[in-house]
């Protein structure tokens, strides 16, 4: 059995208030404080239990899944969620990509389905920096 990875398109955008609520909740549920979340500026990781190793290391905790994020985009206080992945252990535990995102987003009253999405912009009709070979002289 393999893990599962999903690119979230269009990317989910957590508005500033929702982003703040989620970050506070994930920090209070940090793996070193008895919770199951480990967060960095680019990745939120969900474990099956709190870290129980020496010097606040993983110990017997098993990674179930990860959510890839970008802080400060599209606005300074928002967070964009663009990818989620489950490990084999996460799949075996019954997690889904939607369930993983929903668990994190629930701290702000959101789900992956209800979360605002990034506005996709079409590519420019032509490259504004391209110069015709005839004009390169």
pLDDT digits 0-9 by tens, 77-95: 999 999 999 999 999 999 9
For 66, residues 6+ apart whose C-beta sits below 8 A from its C-beta are 43, 44, 45, 46, 84, 85
User: How far is CA 136 from each of CA 98, 101, 126, 128, rounded to the nearest angstrom?
Assistant: 51, 51, 17, 15
Residue positions counted in the chain: 137
**pTM, 2 dp:** 0.85
For each of the domains in the chain, give its residue range(s) and CATH number, in order of start. Answer: 4-116 (3.30.310)
Q: If DSSP codes are grouped into helix, strand and coil, which group holds residue 64?
A: strand
Mean pLDDT, the chain, whole residue set = 92
Q: What is the pLDDT of residues 29-68, one digit of tens each?
A: 999 999 999 999 999 999 999 999 999 999 999 999 999 9
């Amino acid at each position: 059995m393999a893990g599962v990875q999903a690119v979230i398109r269009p990317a989910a955008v957590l508005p500033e208030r929702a982003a703040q609520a989620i970050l506070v909740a994930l920090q209070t549920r940090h793996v070193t404080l008895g919770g199951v979340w480990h967060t960095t500026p680019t990745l939120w990781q969900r474990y099956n239990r709190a870290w129980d190793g020496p010097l606040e290391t993983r110990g017997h905790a098993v990674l179930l899944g990860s959510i890839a994020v970008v802080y400060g985009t599209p606005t300074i206080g928002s967070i964009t969620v663009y990818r989620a992945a489950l490990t084999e252990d996460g799949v075996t535990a019954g997690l889904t990509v939607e369930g993983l995102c929903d668990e994190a987003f629930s701290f702000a009253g959101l789900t992956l389905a209800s979360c605002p999405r990034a506005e996709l912009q079409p590519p420019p009709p032509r490259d504004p920096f391209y110069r015709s070979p005839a004009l390169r002289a």
